[in-house]
Amino acid sequence: MALPLAKQFALMVPELFLLGMICAILVIDVFLKNSQRNVTYWLSQFSLLITGILVLTMNPGERITGFDGAFVSDPFSVLLKLFVVGITIAVFVYSRPYMRDRELFRGEYFVLGLAGVLGMMVLISAHSLLTIYLGLELMSLALYAMVAFQRDSGRASEAAMKYFVLGALASGLLLYGMSILYGLTGSLDITRIAINLAHSPHPEVAVGLAVVFIVSGVAFKLGAVPFHMWIPDVYEGAPTSVTLYMGSVTKIAAFAMVIRLLAEALPSAHIHWGGMLELLIVLSLAVGNVIAIAQTSIKRMLAYSTISHVGFVFMGVFAGTDAGYAAATYYVLVYALMSAGAFGMIALLSRKGFEAENIEDFKGLNQRSPWLAFMMLLIMFSMAGIPPTVGFYAKLVVLQAVVQVDQPWLALYAVIMSVIGAFYYLRVVKFMYFDKVEEVVPVRLKLDAGILMSFNGLALLALGMFPSVLMVYCTAAAGGL
Amino acid sequence: METVYLIIALAPLVGAIIAGLFGKKIGKTGAHTVTILGVGLSFGLSVWVFVRLVFQGMPTYDGNVYTWMMAGGYSFHIGFLIDHLSALMMLIVTFVSLMVHIYTIGYMAHDEELWPSDSQVRSTAYQRFFSYIALFTFSMLMLVMSNNLLQLFFGWEAVGLVSYLLIGFYMNKESAIYANLKAFIVNRVGDFGFLLGIAALFAYTGSLNYEEIFSQTGKLATATVMLIPGQEWSLPSVVAILLFIGAMGKSAQVPLHVWLPDSMEGPTPISALIHAATMVTAGIFMVTRMSPIYELSTTALSLMLIIGSIGAFFMGLIGVVQNDIKRVIAFSTLSQLGYMTAALGASAYAAGMFHLMTHAFFKALLFLAAGSVIMAMHHEQDIRKMGGLRKYMPITYVTALIGSLALIGFPGTSGFFSKDSIIEAVELSHIPGAHFAAALLILGVFVTALYTFRLFFLVFHGRERMDAHTRAHLHEPPWVVTLPLTLLALATIGAGGVMYPLLFGDFFRSIYVAPDHNVLAELHHHFHGALAFLIDGFLAPPFWLSMAGVLVAWDVTLYRSKLGIHVHSRLGWVRTILQNGYGFDAFNDYVFARGARGLGRLLWKAGDALLIDGLIVNGTARVIGWTADRLRWIQTGYVYHYSFAMIIGLLVLLSWYVLR
């Protein structure tokens, strides 16, 4: 039964508003002088804020699909969109001083960033293979351009090129998988695909084939081994403000795609993708944690850490239960928060002519700014999973979900790998607190960025002490799938 | 009454806390006032409780006052059992403790002089000392007033802790640190056995409460335990021996006696209080308390007889060759503890307790007199450098004489009544080893008299061997020192008067003696009044042996002082053996201390450093680091390598999950 058209459009009011604002900002920005670029900044922040408010106010509170099943609004999408919008606001705050110092403070960054957010929101709400692909490509294209944003930097161009080529390959894999799925079921709508797969007989090999290509495609977007190779190069090559954006919010959107495709469209093929995910998890945890140890660049280190965190997110999905999906959702949201904080810290500590991109640059941070050092400590502890930070709880719920489906060995393996991983997080802490620098350069900090960073760091602590505040919503979101 | 018991136990603790934590604020006077008030209160109430219990027929109190914790379905209680036995112990402990507290005011008055001027603890050492001895009094009271083994163990460990702290009171002296470490470690050995004994009792009776344990002795008597497969041992023997191992540590029985002589590193008042009168007798008290268990095991009784008598004779022998005034008395304590243990072994618990009491008085008296001498001699402890102190310190001289006479058991003194009854009890005993023990105990009388009067003559009589400066300053100490001496001397003389009710009356109702072990009842048979016992004492061999000892002592020290040197040159090897304490220390140092350190070093180097740190911890880290260094080169930076990796991954997934 189809909804009236007005109600269908009501579902995507936030997206429509954001689209309108992107066009408006694009036009307005053309007429601004370089010194007036703050107008673009504030307009962008305003758009995001209103979008966020719209997401909240238009929240149907239940699962409603529109446009013939192509677009869905459910607790899951609302939760994820709120985090995407909120963290993007933080990303813009952290990036502003960084880009000012490097003469990158241009309107395009914000327009592309907002376009990426639009792509993510579409991806999160997508409920047909077509919308998924649309959202994914909108997001990816914005990202390709953003990575190459620093046009005169060879590193950035190289990274963008690699990202684009590999991304195209991955998109091809994903599309191929989708086409097999369409061929098998004769539908693009996720609900119908799921019903069809569950109730009609299909050749096992064909389903398996589709699943392999789809898993490969989503694994590339999240960055699971062996589809991870682009991550370190791109994270390192891109300007820190872009890495910050890519490293945090896009993971949430990519995770939404995983849930829509695997959990919603292919629940009956869990026997296929479960095993594949297990392999990806095992590899991701090992490669991410072990290679991170050998890194000297903090951006590369965090890139490898991303890979290992993706392993954890996949573990929640791998469980294939509501508890597992809730745990994975929780994990990815928390990860986005931690990652925004960590990359944001790199952006804040960099200044004109100096990139704080090596781990050694964090030496003696405690002397320079005890408060920032403490925030970084919280972020690192949280990433390592040390209580009472939220990272511990996130790992705990994921492991719980895995143990509940009788996979204690996988949980044990993940714990051992986390212990190895703790080494390089704690090394940063050791550099900050126990190593001294000869000349103490005080950190200049903008008020807004400082407040937001404090909020970001303390949120990790607060959520760690009251984890259920967020867990309730994650459980509701997973329950509403 | 519960409140009264609580006050008795807690008043010294309050004093200890105030003196310990606020010592700087309240100063020296404040510290000794508050602790003496606390201990004095305990003493006064103990007297009152004793009078009500013994003379006014108040019933025995047995009750719990506080539940400490619940674990495994069992509630651990803090509780009191106040019967004649604990009332007597409370009286002894608080009385001697009070005397020592008062004495300490004089003894420690100039204590700062013994500390280096830059020592940070120097200014509060006085307060700290009072805090410790008050804390000791609390711990000892908790031990004797307890109605269960757990609280007994708490007090047991607490007195051990305070003993440790006080032996090492002069913490800047290496010998003091060595001594307190030694005391602590040796006591660990004993406590290990003790704890196992408690655990075994708990395992078989399901309770730690004395009353509940003793109500099950019938069941325990026939119980057996298999510690080594195929070897059935009687449970009461195992428990009794394990508990006795604890007593051996605390009451310094051979071979766990080695810590006591070294404990003389502590200030003299605590040598009197802890290492002579009270703490070291905790083992005797504990065995007496547990008499219903010991009566089930002839093996354990026999063991106690033999170990006790060996200590009584051979430890006394070492005392003969010592030249440090405190060490002579320390070896004498070892010997006397041996007498008490032998009494327990002969099932004459009451005689052991009687000797415990008289010994507490006369040994505390001797130690305090020694302390008085040490003070006058400006902390010179070598008796070869003393002599002729009689005319400078008449009160100390008289009281020391009384103490010495009691120690050698001169008829009429309290020591005579208690020691003679032990010897006669052991002679009457039929427990295996009793004859051997009796012989050693009788010989021990000679040795006791020899070392006691050797010390006495060398210190108070003969040529004045000290230097002129010291001689010029020799004088009787202040009243705070002589008052406790006098009071203890009176107690030493008077304590013998309670022999009849203690040994033959029904004073110790809680002591259980099996009918065929009851040597005291038999002794009672032969007993025709104190006067007859006294007259018999003059005719019995122990008296003549002790007189012979005194005579020999007089001969070698005063009459023919060259004789000592002559004997020395002839019997040098005997002297060497004795001075080395039969090689116990050397053996322990060589085998246990070096062995343990060697084993520790082996485990450290091979187990910890090589295997755990090297192989497991650092090895893992190295392997991971190495792997990381290799793996990072996979990241070549070439986009076709990256896409190749993706295709390989795809192929693996395909072949593994689809085409298998």
Percentage above 70 pLDDT, chain A: 100
Give residue B378's pLDDT. Answer: 86
**pLDDT score at A82:** 95
Q: Quote the pLDDT of residue B534.
A: 83
Write out the H or E segment, with its range, that includes residue B24.
helix B23-54
How far separated are the first and last CA of chain A, in Å rounded?
Answer: 19
CA-to-CA distance for B570 and A16, rounded, in angstroms? 117
pLDDT digits (tens, 9 = 90+) for B442-499: 999 999 999 999 999 989 988 888 888 888 888 888 888 999 999 999 999 888 888 8
At residue B564, the pLDDT reads 60
Distance CA(B352)–CA(B308), nearest Å, equals 11
* Confidence at residue B573, expressed as pLDDT on a 0 to 100 scale: 80
If residue A73 lies in a helix (H) or strand (E), which one and from where to where? strand A71-73
pLDDT band at A475 (very low <50, low <70, confident <90, very high): very high
B377-405 confidence digits (pLDDT tens): 888 888 888 888 888 999 999 999 999 99
Considering only CB atoms, which chain B residues are within 8 Å of A225? 649
Q: A298 to chain B, minimum CA–CA distance in Å?
A: 15
The Cα of B622 is separated from the nearest Cα of chain A by a number of Å equal to: 11
pLDDT value at residue B660: 66
What does the radius of gyration of chain B's CA atoms come to, in whole angstroms? Answer: 30
For the CA atoms of A242, A244, A245, A249, what is the dihedral angle to 10 degrees?
160
pLDDT of residue A1 exceeding 60: no
- Please tell me the least confidently modeled range out of A437-441, B223-227, B333-337: A437-441
Q: Taking the CA atoms of A468, A472, A473 and A477 in sequence, report the sign of the dihedral they define.
A: positive
Which ipTM score applies to this complex?
A: 0.87
Interface mutation vs chain B, best among A212, A277, A280, most B CBs within 10 Å: A212
pTM: 0.65
Nearest to A166 among B642, B653, B658 (CB): B642
Q: pLDDT, tens digit, for every residue of B143-162?
A: 999 999 999 999 999 999 99
State yes or no: pLDDT of B116 exceeds 90: no
Nearest to B631 among A165, A170, A291 (CB): A291
Instruction: Give the strand pairing for A71-73 and B61-71.
Output: unpaired
Backbone angles phi, psi at B65, to 5 degrees: -110, -15
Dig out the tokens for A408 from the structure: 């204690």
Model pLDDT, residue B536: 83
- Averaged pLDDT, B504-510: 82
- Is residue B586 over pLDDT 70? yes
Distance CA B46, CA B52 (A): 10
Predicted pLDDT at B562? 64
Percent of chain B with pLDDT over 90: 52
Backbone φ and ψ for B170, nearest 5 degrees, come out as: -85, 80
pLDDT on residue B160: 93
pLDDT digits (tens, 9 = 90+) for A396-427: 999 999 999 999 999 999 999 999 999 999 99
The pLDDT confidence band at residue B568, using thresholds 50, 70 and 90, is low
Contact A229 B642 (CB under 8 A): yes
Q: Which of A240, A232, A233 is nearest to A149 (CA)?
A: A240
The number of angstroms, rounded, from the C-alpha of A451 to the middle of its chain's C-alpha atoms is 23
Query: Rounded to an integer, what distance in angstroms lies between the CA atom of residue B378 and that of residue B386?
Result: 11
3-state SS string for A189-252: EHHHHHHHHHHCCCCHHHHHHHHHHHHHHHHHHHCCCCCCCHHHHHHHHCCHHHHHHHHHHHHH
C-alpha distances (whole Å) from B639 to each of A225, A285, B72, B298 are 16, 23, 65, 89
A193 touches A181 (CB < 8 A)? yes
Give the Cα separation of A173 and B101 in Å (integer).
Answer: 91
Q: What is the mean pLDDT of residues B650-655?
A: 89
Q: How far apart are CA B326 and CA B346, in angstroms?
A: 30
Q: What is the pLDDT of residue A120?
A: 96
**B12 Cβ partners below 8 Å, 6+ apart?**
B35, B38, B39, B42, B97, B134, B135, B137, B138, B141
Q: Which helix (H) or strand (E) holds A65?
A: strand A64-66
Buried b (16+ CB within 10 A) or exposed e, B259-276: bbbbbbbbbbbbbbbbbb
Whether residue B426 contacts residue B347, with contact meaning beta carbons closer than 8 Å, is answered with no
Note the residue count of chain B.
660
Phi/psi region, residue B433 (left: phi>0; alpha: psi -120 to 50; beta: rest), is: left
Is the model's pLDDT at B659 over the cut of 90?
no
Separation of alpha carbons A427 and B8, rounded Å? 57
CA distance B161 to B140: 11
Residues of A with CB under 8 A from a CB of B: 161-162, 165-166, 169-170, 173, 205, 208-209, 211-213, 215-216, 219-220, 225-227, 229-230, 232-233, 272, 275-276, 279, 287, 290-295, 420, 423
Give the containing element (helix H, strand E) for B80: strand B74-82
Residue contact B625–A294, C-beta within 8 A? yes
Calpha distance B118→B131 (Å, rounded): 22
Helix (H, G, I), strand (E, B) or coil at A102: coil
Looking at the partner chain, which of B639, B648, B650 has a beta carbon nearest the beta carbon of A162? Answer: B639
- The answer to whether B539 faces chain A, any CB pair under 8 Å, is no
Buried b / exposed e over B279-300, threshold 16 CB at 10 Å, is: bbbbbbbbbbbbbbbbbbbbbb
Query: What pLDDT does B614 receive?
Result: 83
Q: pLDDT value at position A271?
A: 86
DSSP-assigned letter for residue B311: I
B277 vs B97: CA distance, rounded Å: 9
Question: How large is the average pLDDT for residues B585-594?
Answer: 88
- Which residues are paired to A354 by β-bridges? A351
The residues, ordered by sequence, that sit 6+ positions from B37 with a Cβ below 8 Å of its Cβ are: B11, B15
Which residues from B are below 8 Å from A423, CB to CB? 621
Residue contact A208–B621, C-beta within 8 A: no
Which residues in chain B (629-658) have CB-CB distances under 8 A to chain A? 629, 631-632, 635, 637, 639, 641-643, 645-646, 648-650, 652-654, 656-658
Is the CB of residue B213 less than 8 Å from the CB of residue B204? no
Q: What's the whole-number mean pLDDT along residues A370-398? A: 93
Print the SS3 string covering B89-143: HHHHHHHHHHHHHHHHHHHCCCHHHHCCCCCCCHHHHHHHHHHHHHHHHHHHHHH
Q: For residue B635, list chain A residues with Cβ-Cβ distance below 8 A.
A: 229, 232-233, 291
Query: What confidence score (pLDDT) does residue B563 get?
Result: 62
B565 vs B359, which has greater pLDDT?
A: B359
Extract the tokens encoding A177. Answer: 């998988």
Chain A residues within an 8 Å CB radius of B624: 290, 293, 420
What does the pLDDT look like over A43-81, one tens digit per residue? 999 999 999 999 999 888 888 888 888 999 999 999 999
Mean pLDDT comparison of A83-87, B23-27, B472-476, highest-scoring range: A83-87
- At B567 the pLDDT is 63
CB B408 within 8 A of CB B319: no
- Residue B561 has what pLDDT? 66
Mean pLDDT rounded to a whole number for chain A: 92
pLDDT higher than threshold 90 for residue B628? no
Q: Please tell me the distance from the alpha carbon of residue A92 to that of residue A304, in angstroms, as a whole number.
A: 24
Verify whether the Cβ–Cβ distance B639 to A232 is below 8 Å. no
| Whole-angstrom distance, CA of residue A407 vs CA of residue A426 | 29
Average pLDDT on B190-194 reads 93
Q: What is the DSSP letter of B58?
A: P
Residue B241 pLDDT > 90, yes or no?
yes
Instruction: Please confirm whether the linkage preceding B478 is cis (ω < 30° from 0).
Output: no
**How far, in Å, CA of B206 to CA of B212, rounded?**
9
Amino acid making up residue A240? T
Q: Å from B619 to nearest chain A CA?
A: 13
Q: Are A44 and A81 in contact (CB under 8 A)?
A: no
pLDDT for the residue numbered B635: 81
In this complex, is the C-beta atom of B624 within 8 Å of any C-beta atom belonging to chain A? yes
pLDDT (0 to 100) of residue B504: 83
Q: Where are the alpha helices (DSSP H) in B393-474?
A: 394-408, 414-428, 434-460, 468-472
Contacts of B187 (CB under 8 A, 6+ apart): B160, B249, B250, B256, B259
Which residue's structure tokens are 């019995």?
B540
B208-214 LR contacts (CB < 8 Å, sep 24+)? B208/B74, B208/B76, B208/B148, B208/B149, B208/B150, B209/B77, B209/B79, B209/B147, B209/B148, B210/B81, B210/B147, B210/B148, B210/B149, B210/B289, B211/B62, B211/B81, B211/B147, B213/B149, B213/B293, B214/B292, B214/B293, B214/B512
Residue A157, CA atoms < 13 Å, CB-side half-sphere: 4
Distance from the Cα of A229 to chain B's closest Cα (Å) equals 6
Report helix, strand or coil for A66.
strand
The confidence score (pLDDT) of residue B335 equals: 94
Name the residue facing A173 among B627, B632, B650 (closest C-beta): B650
Q: Say how far apart CA B135 and CA B509 lie, in whole Å.
A: 30
Q: Which residue has the tokens 């944690």?
A: A289
Whole-angstrom CA distances from B41 to B7, B14, B88 are 8, 11, 16
Output the DSSP codes for A304-320: HHHHHHHHHHHHHHHH-
d(CA A145, CA A111): 11
Partners of A291 on chain B (C-beta within 8 Å) are 628, 631-632, 635
Concatenate the DSSP letters of all residues of A152-172 into one string.
T-HHHHHHHHHHHHHHHHHHH
